[in-house]
Chain A
Amino acid sequence: MADIKVDVRGETCPVPLVETRKALRKASPGDTVEVVGTHPASKKEIPMALKALGLKLEDIQEEEDVWKIRIGV
């Protein structure tokens, strides 16, 4: 069970969403993917993608414009 980190701070549309998807495709069942970013729309849209992909949003946090999303694969 690996803990995969995706750092998309400073990246804009569509990179946070695309990099999240790329990491999820490489992950194995049981892995956790943690995405850190600053692009505001992606904070809403990554959870929408997870729902469409049938994956579990484990946690979402935001502190001073930096959000962190944890995904269970």
Chain B
Amino acid sequence: MTDKATIVVHSGDMDKMYSALIIATGALSMGMEASLYFTFWGLERLIKGKLEKGALSSMHMFGLGKWMVRRRMKAANVASLEKLLQDFKELGGKIIACEMTMQIMGIKQDDLRHDLIDEYGAVGTYIQEARESKITLFI
């Protein structure tokens, strides 16, 4: 069986979304399978139009910190979260959306980018993915 990485994307912060997507696309690029389980604030980023809207996890400073970091990222030619997400899908990555989060936050399937989501699941789905994984992270 192919090695696998499973990541819980709990945070919706911009920098943490980068960490999750870079690790996940990296795993796929190095021949592993990868699953992303989006829950809580992470799932909000899969709402249409919200992917790049996360704050910085620290030094956000009412958006000033994020603006500065984005400027530096642009100068360093860092890929957008949208590109990383598209690459993740193109390389065969799997996206799971947490149903309980949808219920708590009143998110409907229609609100989400349904085309990217492979499965709507709960903790059992995560455990099933994680038990087959060599790498599992909570971000």
Contacts and interface: CB of A to CB of B under 8 A. Distances in A.
Interface of A: 10-15, 17-18, 20-22, 25, 48-49, 52-53
A21 to B, nearest CB: 4
Nearest to B73: A12
Interface residues of B, number: 15
Contact of A18 (B31, B77, B78, B91): B91
Interface in B71-87: 76-79, 84, 87
A64 to B, nearest CB: 19
Chain A to chain B: the 4 pairs with minimum beta-carbon distance, closest first: A21-B29, A17-B29, A49-B30, A52-B31
Given A11-B79, A18-B87, A22-B87, 7 more contacts: A11-B77, A14-B26, A14-B29, A21-B29, A21-B91, A22-B91, A53-B30
B112 interface: no
Contact of A15 (B30, B31, B79, B90): B79
